[in-house]
Structure 1
Amino acid sequence: ITERKQIEILYKTIFDKTGIPMLILNEDLVISDMNAEFEQAFGYTRSEIIGQLQWPALIADDDRGRMIEYYALQKKNLSALLENNAFTYVLKNGETQVGAILITSIPGTGKSLISIENIADLLETRTKLKSTKEEMNQLLNQLPDYVIIHEGETIVYVNDEGARLMGKTPEEIIGTSVLSFAAPEYHDLLIQNIGFRYQGISIKPYLIEVAIPSGERRWLEVRSASLAGRLKDTTLAVLTDVTEQKKAETALKESELQYRTIIENMQDLVYRADISGNLIMISPAGVRLAGFSSADEMIGCNISHMFYSNPGERENLLELLQKDEKVTNFPTSLVDKHGNIHQVTVSSHFYRDIHGNIIGIEGILHDVTEIKKAEEAVLLANRKLNLLTKITRHDINNQLVALLGYLTILDETLKDSPEYELAKKAVSVAERINSIIQFTKQYEEIGVKSPIWQNIRKITCDASEQVHLGSVIIKNDISEDIEVFADPLLVKIIYNLIENAVRYGETITTIRFYEEEASNMVLICEDDGVGVIPEEKERIFERGYGRNTGLGLALCRDILTITDISIIETGEFGSGARFEISIPSTGWRKIPRD
């Protein structure tokens, strides 16, 4: 068999067995043979094709010129290939399909072998792949995280957010080192973790800092995974900005430290108990107060059974909490580990879970044991002092009554003598001494009892009922819900203002009480009498001023001062007196009345 015959046999075998549509062309491009696959794919019979058609007749008009050029290049140089050898061909039924063509010259024959492969599925796959890639890019660019793909240390992809973080375009970043995303002190960590990942070692998320163009440093959490099917070691890294979270964590730690420092150094007892009264937190001051060595000894103990000297007082506390959900300065007594009693005031409230359910009580206890002892000592001293002054006053009064009796007789005896004026002065002095003695009786009552909350409208009504008003009318326009924190003698002050107005008002017909609210509340008592002359507006508050005995304005001012309340006269002479009683914001409140 000749060499040419061997070549023909070889090509014939390929031609018949390849499974791909094939043609053999003469030099004039006329089809001289076709295999069964071509016949099946194109729908032509051998008699319709062989010797009848030139190969370009099977090519769509738009691609025909390009394919003839491709054929000519192949005939000249077997290695010359067009970049795109895909073309559209026409079937017998007129349908078109896309195929890839490969042209090979058959040595020693002048003929060519053409193979045509249907690549419609391949093109569809490529189209879908391109669409998927575009969708993936859009998705990655919409992410708030920074996404990087790097081969080794070289960045081959960065999403828009990653580029924005670095103040550059993606094109400027691609090709640079992944280390550019980290502050220098984190470069070794990055290199180490990249190496571990390429060795197949799993890397947990870790934190790095990056210095952005503004000079600010941002915290990034790095999560990464190797991408399979790549020629080079490739990593997908997702960097999440956790700067605000880190700031919040830092602020929380600082807050917790401050809170712990405050709690540990507070002299008051801070506690938290569950709804059954079992202690779950206690401050160091509480440990000391209870006589224990550590908080661990106390945690879990039931406070109502172990620490209240009278468990019933805790029940009272719980009743108030159920009513108002908080209690302020509730007085009670505790017993420590050694049996000592401690007087305390309790300010507590319910605390809740995330669903709003009450799960316990927390609050502050203030140890007032020493204050109570001091108060009791002062009260005892006051009682003794009051007893002494009462005895002394009683004895002086007895002597004074006798002295006034003798002076009165002497006054009658010396009526027509030169010594009469001296006798009158002696009587006047004795009466003045009596007035001073009566003043001490009134003054000793000041501050004896603790200040209390009082309904100012009610005590104004009570005071006005005790004064002989004659034709004078009282207008009580004070709001019904206002309470004032003052000495129990407040009612006598109101009485004194009314009594003075009736006594000295001369042309008076009406006395009006009302309030003006601001940060401080001002209680006003005004009348339509003659008023107070300007030079006496302050003198009326001096001790001893006035024409009558009784509770003077000096005493009124002293009583009010006990609870930081002030009083001044601001009326216009000729139009009536006006007393303004200024009460601080902490000294008044509104209590709704049923």
Structure 2
Amino acid sequence: MLREPLFIGIESSRADRFPQILCLTDKGGTILSMNRRGQDVFCCPDESVTGWHISDLFAPSERERFVAECARTVDGAGSPPSPYTVLDRNRRPARVLPVFTPAGEGFWVNLVEIDADAGRHTPDMRQTLLTFMDTFPQTFFEFDEHGTITYVNHHGLLEFGFTAEDLEGGLNAYDLIALPDRTRAYQNVAYRMDGRIPACHEYTFLRKDGSTVPVIVHSVAVTKNGEATGTWGLVIDISEIRAAQEELEQMNQTLKLVSTLTRHELMNILTALAGWVDLAAGVTTEPDVDRYLKKATEAAGMLRKHLDFSREIQQVGTAAPTWQDLDAAVGSARSYLENGVQNLTIRTETAGVRVLADTLFDRVFYILLENSLRHGKGVTEVRVRVEGSLIVYEDNGCGVPVREKKRIFELGYGKNTGFGLYLARRILAVTGIKIKEEGEPGTGARFVLSIPQDQIRFF
């Protein structure tokens, strides 16, 4: 995440001198202005491009992917993790790496031309670029194929405690990376120099005084006559983010401990309460007292369900997502059922399918099966199948009334605890899986799980 906008305060004339494509957009991605380099590449004056969406500059086949990636990264003002194709004024494709930078109520979008031949830039253009970089409140650098640093902007020298004399004396980029990260940095640069996809990576950098700083590095290969000759990069200090993450993690651990201890004590109290109620029921002969004791037992049972739910919701997202066998998940869910499963036929067309999901993925199908048995009014058959990147769950029950289709996923809504489908949605959301109910009332429930394309595999 960029805490300080790179381009805030840059006048239009200075943006026009920037030798890369630069667009100013609002938060929705609508272009407000474009610098001269962009106008030249796309052969359109500034006023004609105003009002376009930034994705309109990209090849049609890549627009949907670009918009999806932007939605994931724009809050953090980072770069989408892969390059894209734009079409220049002659409809020829060119590869660019978009870098987003917050600017007031919108963003500057720098389309770094990663396939551009560095040799075509004149010395004047290079000097203009370097002068421009010196105004940035973030670190820009350049190093050659051997790792020797050939340029660091003014902010970078101050940030890491070096001087221009240090730079002239010879600094190697890899020496500024903490030892545990150094081998990985060598490999990442080698991949990039070999023509592989540019990306961003996290490292720990070393300042001149020996102190360390966590950073994210965005970088691209510099080419000359088609050969990689070095690397250009942007370094973003993420110390504040790391500190906030650590503080949040400590708070979460404290809350988790308090929650666990409280739940444990309440469970002990409920166990004791259930015992005393059973003893009382065994000695009373009064119908009214017996009725009250049954109500107390029901209330205790409801409280136990609330405590069970608090334990389950606490586990969501605590472990890294894993590739899970869909067939096994449905089978596991069936094994959890206690009532009504003897009369239930489950037909699956899920063999050979794996889904990247939270470790509680099988719990989703348990919840769906339990809902079918509890609310379906005589459900005898359930079918689970895969259609492309969709998982479809259907039963032959009474279905879901139209007015309830959206509300059934709300916390507390429903005829039982109101926890089940809310929990299912939370489990799926960990990896971006969406769920909705699309069945026809009277013919059965139909839940559709939409899996991101890169999170489902077929074997």
Q: Provide the TM-score with structure 1 as the length reference.
A: 0.48
The 5 Å alignment of 1:294-305 reads 294=164, 297=167, 300-305=170-175
Q: What is the rounded CA distance, in whole Å, between the counterparts of 1:427 and 1:419 in structure 2? A: 12
- Match status 1:465 vs 2:331: yes
Which residue does 1:184 correspond to in 2? none
- Match status 1:513 vs 2:386: yes
Identity %: 27
The 5 Å alignment of 1:224-243 reads none
Q: Render the CA deviation track for 1:523-554: whole Å, top value 9, x for unaligned.
A: 34231422323233233223244566796111
Q: How much is the aligned-residue C-alpha RMSD, in angstroms?
A: 3.8
8 Å Cα contact 1:327/1:346 also seen in 2: no
What secondary structure, in the 3-state scheme, does the structure 2 residue paired with 1:346 have? strand
Q: What is the rounded CA distance, in whole Å, between the counterparts of 1:490 and 1:382 in structure 2? A: 23
Distance verdict in 2 for CA 1:443–1:529, change over 3 Å: same
The structural deviation recorded for 1:326 is 3.1
- Match status 1:526 vs 2:393: yes
Distance verdict in 2 for CA 1:494–1:322, change over 3 Å: farther
| 1:374 counterpart (232, 244, 247) | 244
The structural deviation recorded for 1:572 is 0.8
Distance verdict in 2 for CA 1:299–1:511, change over 3 Å: farther
- Match status 1:428 vs 2:298: yes
8 Å Cα contact 1:571/1:578 also seen in 2: yes
Q: What is the rounded CA distance, in whole Å, between the counterparts of 2:315 and 2:371 in structure 1? A: 21
Which residue does 1:329 correspond to in 2? 200
| 2:223 counterpart (331, 340, 352) | 352
The structural deviation recorded for 1:404 is 1.1
Q: What is the rounded CA distance, in whole Å, between the counterparts of 1:298 and 1:290 in structure 2? A: 16
The structural deviation recorded for 1:398 is 1.0
Which residue identity does 1:554 align to in structure 2?
Y
8 Å Cα contact 1:393/1:437 also seen in 2: yes
| 1:557 counterpart (416, 425, 436) | 425
- The number of residue pairs the alignment matches comes to 327
8 Å Cα contact 1:333/1:344 also seen in 2: yes
Q: What is the rounded CA distance, in whole Å, between the counterparts of 1:307 and 1:333 in structure 2? A: 6
Which residue does 2:253 correspond to in 1? 383
Q: What is the rounded CA distance, in whole Å, between the counterparts of 1:260 and 1:460 in structure 2? A: 53
8 Å Cα contact 2:348/2:384 also seen in 1: yes
When structure 1 is superposed on structure 2, of 274-283 and 253-262 the one drifting more is 253-262
| 2:445 counterpart (546, 562, 577) | 577
Q: What is the rounded CA distance, in whole Å, between the counterparts of 1:304 and 1:525 in structure 2? A: 50
The 5 Å alignment of 1:51-450 reads 263-294=133-164, 297=167, 300-310=170-180, 311-318=182-189, 320-321=191-192, 325-354=196-225, 356-414=226-284, 416-449=286-319
Q: Render the CA deviation track for 1:223-279: whole Å, top value 9, x for unaligned.
A: xxxxxxxxxxxxxxxxxxxxxxxxxxxx99998799568634545433221111111
Q: What is the rounded CA distance, in whole Å, between the counterparts of 2:375 and 2:190 in structure 1? A: 52
Q: Render the CA deviation track for 1:133-170: whole Å, top value 9, x for unaligned.
A: xxxxxxxxxxxxxxxxxxxxxxxxxxxxxxxxxxxxxx
8 Å Cα contact 1:467/1:499 also seen in 2: no
Q: Render the CA deviation track for 1:363-404: whole Å, top value 9, x for unaligned.
A: 333322221121111112111211111112111111111011
8 Å Cα contact 1:524/1:578 also seen in 2: no
Q: What is the rounded CA distance, in whole Å, between the counterparts of 1:498 and 1:284 in structure 2? A: 62
The structural deviation recorded for 1:500 is 4.0
Q: What is the rounded CA distance, in whole Å, between the counterparts of 1:475 and 1:539 in structure 2? A: 29
Bigger relative contact order, structure 1 or 2 (CA pairs below 8 A, ≥6 apart): 2
Q: What is the rounded CA distance, in whole Å, between the counterparts of 2:375 and 2:361 in structure 1? A: 21
What secondary structure, in the 3-state scheme, does the structure 2 residue paired with 1:532 have? coil
Which residue does 1:179 correspond to in 2? none
Which residue does 2:406 correspond to in 1? 538
Q: Render the CA deviation track for 1:281-307: whole Å, top value 9, x for unaligned.
A: 223343233222459737841011234
Distance verdict in 2 for CA 1:502–1:463, change over 3 Å: farther
Q: Provide the TM-score with structure 2 as the length reference.
A: 0.60
Distance verdict in 2 for CA 1:479–1:262, change over 3 Å: farther
Q: What is the rounded CA distance, in whole Å, between the counterparts of 1:254 and 1:567 in structure 2? A: 56
Q: What is the rounded CA distance, in whole Å, between the counterparts of 1:372 and 1:279 in structure 2? A: 27
What secondary structure, in the 3-state scheme, does the structure 1 residue paired with 2:201 have? strand
Distance verdict in 2 for CA 1:550–1:573, change over 3 Å: closer
What secondary structure, in the 3-state scheme, does the structure 1 residue paired with 2:278 have? helix
What secondary structure, in the 3-state scheme, does the structure 2 residue paired with 1:511 have? strand
What secondary structure, in the 3-state scheme, does the structure 2 residue paired with 1:557 have? helix
Distance verdict in 2 for CA 1:593–1:395, change over 3 Å: closer
What secondary structure, in the 3-state scheme, does the structure 2 residue paired with 1:349 have? strand
What secondary structure, in the 3-state scheme, does the structure 2 residue paired with 1:406 have? helix
The runs of 5 or more residues in structure 1 that have no matched partner are 1-250, 517-522
Q: Render the CA deviation track for 1:551-576: whole Å, top value 9, x for unaligned.
A: 61112333455666543212112333
